[in-house]
Amino acid sequence: MKNTATIIELCKPRRGVKPKFTPYHVLQALILLTERPYGRIELSKKLGLGEASTRTLINRLKNKGLVYIDKVAGTVLTEDGKSLVRDIMKIIHLVGEIDVSRYCAECKGFGAIIRKGLSIVKSVGVLELRDMVVREGAYGALILTFKGNKLLLPLSRDFYEEFKDPKLIEGIRSAVELKEGDVIIIALCKGPLECSLPLLNAIVNLLSTHN
């Protein structure tokens, strides 16, 4: 996906130096800027990044034509920036916090949906997708698909089992309207922020390698 590849490009090392921000920080910055302009210090606090890293991130966004700097308002999203966010959010839908205490008493869950992502999951494999989320820092991940008006647990590329947890199903369905072919990924971590970061990093990395 071209737009997620742009996010990955913004995070690449320059002159041998790897930035401290990740695709999560880039995407969160763009989402925040759809609401209103932000000054660098305020944006830094929102993202949990140092001011130097935030300055680097803003400069890269500016060089890509996604933001411009207003001397009074701060960092402002351009029309290209707004378009990029709209296109990405058509594919990635954030569900938010989900109760996963039945599966991990000490864990918090944070979910996201890849719209019509079933073919992507089939190509990469459910175990590899789970491992991608774990490599980014989550304790684990629960992956479900929506097919035939049912939530299914993919056990392999072509074998599915109906997911039967009424409480969790209700939590997902009450948070978002599911569509045929959607993939729901729930990251398990110690807190919502710790979940959303590895979850979004894994999803952006996954989508950047698929059209």
Q: Which tokens belong to 203?
A: 């999803």
d(CA 119, CA 14): 34
What angle, rounded to 10 degrees, do the helices at 23-35 and 40-47 form? 130
- Our CA angle for 114, 120, 121, nearest 5°, is 85
Residue type, 17: V
CATH label, 92-208, candidates 1.10.10.60, 3.40.50.2300, 3.30.1360.30, 3.90.960.10:
3.30.1360.30
Predicted local distance difference test score (pLDDT) of residue 123:
87
Predicted local distance difference test score (pLDDT) of residue 158:
74
Predicted local distance difference test score (pLDDT) of residue 154:
87
> Exposed (0-12), middle (13-18) or buried (19+): which is 97, by Cβ within 10 Å?
middle
Predicted local distance difference test score (pLDDT) of residue 211:
61
Q: What is the chain's pLDDT, residue by residue, as a tens digit (211 residues)?
A: 678 899 999 999 988 899 999 999 999 999 999 999 999 999 999 999 999 999 999 999 999 999 999 999 999 999 999 999 999 999 999 998 998 888 888 899 999 999 999 888 888 888 999 999 999 999 999 999 999 999 999 877 677 899 999 999 998 998 889 999 999 999 999 877 788 999 999 999 999 887 6
Fold of 2-87: Arc Repressor Mutant, subunit A (1.10.10)
**What are the domain boundaries of the chain?**
2-87, 92-208
What are all long-range contacts of 164-173, with beta carbons under 8 Å and residues at least 24 apart? Answer: 165/102, 167/99, 167/102, 168/98, 168/99, 168/100, 168/102, 171/98, 171/99, 172/95, 172/98, 172/111, 172/144
Predicted local distance difference test score (pLDDT) of residue 159:
79
Predicted local distance difference test score (pLDDT) of residue 87:
94
Predicted local distance difference test score (pLDDT) of residue 193:
74
Name the 3-class secondary structure at 23: helix
Q: Which tokens belong to 139?
A: 């304790």
Q: What is the pTM of this model?
A: 0.90
